[in-house]
Structure 1
Amino acid sequence: MRQSSSRRAFIYGIPALVLAFVILWNESWSYWWLSRQWPEHEENGRCDRILIVADPQLIGYKNEKFGEISRWDSDRYLATGYSYAKWRFLPTTVMFLGDLFDEGIESNDDEWYETYERFIGIYPIDRGDNAIYIAGDNDIGGESELISESRRNQFYNYFRNNVSDLKDRYSISETYLFENPILKHITKAQVPVAKIMLTHVPYLVEGYKHSDVGQKMDLILSAHDHTTGIYEYQRSAPRAVLFTRVSDVSPTYFKNIGQNEPLIELQTPTCSYRMGVYSMGYGALSICRLNDDYRSVQVQYSVLWLPSRFAQLFLYIFSLIFSAFWIIFQKRCRTRRYSWML
């Protein structure tokens, strides 16, 4: 009897240990391990830390074959990455750069509100922290469909900005480049540390509608393409745009900003694994008034890369297949041994 119990523990215990390890690695340890690789930001002078959330595109209720499971898994991935990003980077401001919902235009009011409830559960804002929300084309339309004024009003009625700690230091505006681009002021400081424009659609990227709406800015933050990059626009001739791609081995980007410096645009990748790209992450931005009597302002930017969810799902499938084969193999070996003894 004791030998039989030990044998069962051996047969089923190994798969149980493998599955337990895979679950812990996929849902916790991989985020912790990867967060230790994230570039550090230096505290050069007085700095404001901003976490940028781009294109989370919470899965909706109309276009998903495995809706309930897909929503649960995607929401969990977004929430886990966000919690680790806040834990490691310690931001005082979170900026959401649009496409918060995947079916913002298509959903009915009940589906929209249910998605909103999921969103605020995934992305809680701590008391006292600043939060800014702008809309994207999946939220209100504009890229391949008409802009829905009712959805625009609903979006800004529910997503309210809190900028109490920023309004005296920054001039922050938003624009929507899928229509006649104008600046909508979010904060307007009398003597701003920096003039920042938020746009869902990239401003300095060829192929998108753009105007001179952002020319007087110091810094532009954008999203939309699900990829990341840094654009530097030379304000004097030949007015070239220099592009730098950001990867998982890129160091923290440092650059002074101001009217006598190039115009900088930081494009943040999607944080959702459902957007058809291999690399996902959150943007980490520090804006620092340097220790030169605060005459100079410097930005530091990096991407807090997330683990590949598809690799994690493949690991789940592999561990299940291994467990099944292990149990079948061990039982067949046991059956053959007993047959030989008889």
Structure 2
Amino acid sequence: MPVIVLNWRRLNWRVISISALVLTVFFNEYLVYSIQSWQWFTFPVSQDREHEVVALLVGDPQLQGYRDEPPFLIGTFSRWDADRYLRNNFLLACGYIKPDVVVFLGDLLDEGSVATDEEFEDYTRRFQSIFSTRANVQRVHIPGDNDIGGEGGDFRTKAKIQRYVRHFEQLTGVTSVKFVDFIKMDVEFRGGLTTEKWKTAESLSSEMKGKYRVLLNHGSVLPKLKSHVYPLLTRLRPQLLLSAHWHRSNHYVCSDCMSHKSDVDKEYWPVHRRDITDTHQLIEIDLTDKEALNELMIPSCSYRMGEVNIGYGVVIIKDSGVAYHGVLWLPQRYILLYVYVAVCLALALFPVLSKYAQKHIITLQKYRYR
């Protein structure tokens, strides 16, 4: 059997460098996504999709703008990389669960509220290109504070709201998907709900025809004051609530929130928060319990938000009244970018260290044979 002897001195350093870079790019840009998807929860394949609604939940994508990014090439690269990361994972998630509806839970754009009209139009084109869906997939968009203002000193204005509506859709409304109504209320809970919001809730309640109702809001609802939340929930009667904003994965549970009407004026109610970041399987929720309420907070899907645990949420609602929720966790992009830096440094330093080591080996050999 022949013995292959590898002579490192005769290796072409350019070939080694190119091979290392190609392998690194292949792993970071292609293979890592497949490896991550192997760890996703087992999706329950149904023989009859008419008796279930599968929703892909997109929390805080926050497309990067031009103002808060570094100028010139660094900013261009950071936007390109963040957009590509969102697009690749979104396509992978859509292919995995084949959703009936995609729900965007606010903060679609990072600088939407402060953008000029030209910038906002450019951001919208990028958004539609990244989150492209098939014609038979319904879409629901709700605004966040980064889209139309409303947080801190960034106030909402009529012009910001009108611009958002022109490029996306109305702030409030009902989108029906099979037997599920997705309700957009756009509630901020600052000092209680206004008379206009009460009228909106009553108007939307007359439009709901589905067997189950899901209330959508960018900010969380159940952790708020009961006196602010309870009257809204009694009008809309949702069986499930979906929110985002805090970039984390939480499950808020209240087992009897809808049973004691005499406690409407209480400030707080027995809402329990469950951190489900470490949950990699589907959790089950009973939608037939008329006294209980469940709210799912969806994490951000963008690595630029500074959170380690990011992903796309999934909700499967069965006609029988059982819902399942899970998160398609995504690879940590910053670690992959650090790998690029480490590989480039190693390739740059290796020839220098190799020559230094070779010089010392020759010196030691001369000293040995004296």
TM-score band by shorter chain is: 0.7 to 0.9
**Partner of residue 12, structure 1:** 14
Q: Mean Cα displacement is larger for which, 61-70 or 49-58?
A: 61-70
Q: How far is the alpha carbon of 1:109 from its aligned partner?
A: 0.9
Deviation at 1:204, TM superposition (A): 1.3
Match of 1:224 among 224, 245, 256: 245
Change (3 A) 1:115 1:93: same
Question: Do the aligned partners of residues 286 and 168 (structure 1) sit closer, same or farther apart at CA in structure 2, a change above 3 Å counting?
Answer: closer
Distance 1:6 1:209, change over 3 A: farther
Of 288, 293, 305, the residue aligned with 1:275 is 305
> What amino acid is the match of 2:149?
G
Relative to structure 1, the CA distance from residue 13 to residue 40 in structure 2 (aligned partners, 3 Å threshold; closer, same or farther) is same
Q: Structure 1 residue aligned with 2:132, among 120, 124, 131?
A: 124
- Correspondence for 2:353: 329
1:171 paired residue number = 181
Moved more, 12-21 or 48-57: 12-21
Matches of 1:35 and 1:279, distance apart in 2: 15
More displaced, 110-119 or 33-42?
33-42
Matching residue within 21, 24, 30 for 1:28: 30
2:222 is aligned, of 199, 204, 209, to 204
Partner SS for 1:88: helix
Q: Structure 1 CA distance, aligned partners of 2:122 and 2:66?
A: 10
Displacement after TM superposition at 1:164 (Å): 11
Counterpart of 1:258 in structure 2 is 288
Q: TM-score, normalised by structure 1?
A: 0.86
Find 2:41's aligned residue among 25, 39, 42. 39
Match of 1:301 among 310, 325, 336: 325
User: What amino acid maps onto 1:222 in structure 2?
Assistant: S
Aligned AA (2:66)? Y
2:233 pairs, out of 208, 211, 214, with 214
Identify which of 148, 154, 163 aligns with 1:154.
Answer: 163
Q: CA 1:16/1:336 → structure 2, altered by over 3 Å: closer, same or farther? A: farther
After superposition, the Cα gap between the structure-2 partners of 1:258 and 1:30, relative to the gap in structure 1 and judged at 3 Å, is: same
Question: Is the Cα contact below 8 Å between 2:315 and 2:324 reproduced in 1?
Answer: yes
Equivalent in the alignment of 1:73:
81
Q: Give the AA of the match of 2:244.
A: A
Alpha carbons 1:252, 1:300 under 8 Å: kept: yes
Q: Does 1:195 align with 2:209?
A: no
- Aligned residue identity for 1:247: T
Deviation at 1:18, TM superposition (A): 2.2
C-alpha deviation, 1:249, in angstroms: 4.0
Q: Measure the CA separation in 1 of the matches of 2:216 and 2:207.
A: 14
Residue aligned with 1:17, SS: helix
Q: 1:116 to 1:141 in 2, by over 3 A?
A: same
Q: Is the 8 A contact 1:97 1:199 kept in 2?
A: yes
2: distance between equivalents of 1:173 and 1:165?
7
Inter-CA distance 209–226: structure 2 relative to 1 (3 Å threshold): farther
2-structure distance, mates of 1:263, 1:153: 33
If the length of structure 2 is used for normalisation, what is the TM-score?
Answer: 0.80
Secondary structure in 2 aligned to 1:232? Answer: strand
Q: 1:314 aligns with which of 313, 338, 342?
A: 338
Q: Give distance in 2, aligned partners of 1:186 and 1:77.
A: 38
Q: Which residue of 2 aligns with 1:93?
A: 101
Whether contact under 8 Å (1:55, 1:97) holds in the other structure is yes
The sequence identity of aligned pairs, in percent, is: 28
Number of corresponding residues: 329
Task: Say whether residues 1:233 and 2:241 are aligned partners.
Answer: no
Does the aligned pair in 2 maintain the 1:201–1:208 contact within 8 Å?
no
**More divergent stretch after superposition (136-145 vs 10-19):** 10-19
Q: CA RMSD in A?
A: 3.0
CA distance in 1 between partners of 2:59 and 2:226 (Å): 18
The gaps in structure 1 that reach 5 residues or longer are: 291-296
C-alpha distance in 2 between matches for 1:187 and 1:94: 24
For the residue of structure 1 that corresponds to 2:305, the secondary structure is coil
Q: Residues 174 and 197 of structure 1 are in contact (CA less than 8 Å); yes or no, is this contact kept in structure 2?
A: yes
Deviations along 1:73-111, one digit per CA (max 9) or x if unpaired, are: 111111111111112122121000100011111111111
**Which digits, 9 at most, give the CA deviation of each residue in 1:46-92, with x for residues without a partner?**
22111000100011111112321211111111111111111212212
- 1:166 CA displacement: 3.2
Post-superposition CA distance 1:113-160 (Å, at most 9, x none)? 111111111100211111000100000011212212212112122114
CA contact (8 A) 2:298 2:313 kept: yes
Q: Using the alignment, how far apart are the partners of 1:199 and 1:131 within structure 2?
A: 15
Q: Deviation digits for residues 9-58 of structure 1, max 9, x if unmatched?
A: 44233332222222111111111111111112335772211100010001
Seen in structure 2, the aligned counterparts of structure 1 residues 84 and 133 have a Cα distance that, compared at 3 Å, is same
Larger radius of gyration: 2
Distance 2:280 2:360 in 1: 56
Asked if 2 retains the 8 angstrom alpha-carbon contact of 1:174 and 1:186, the reply is no
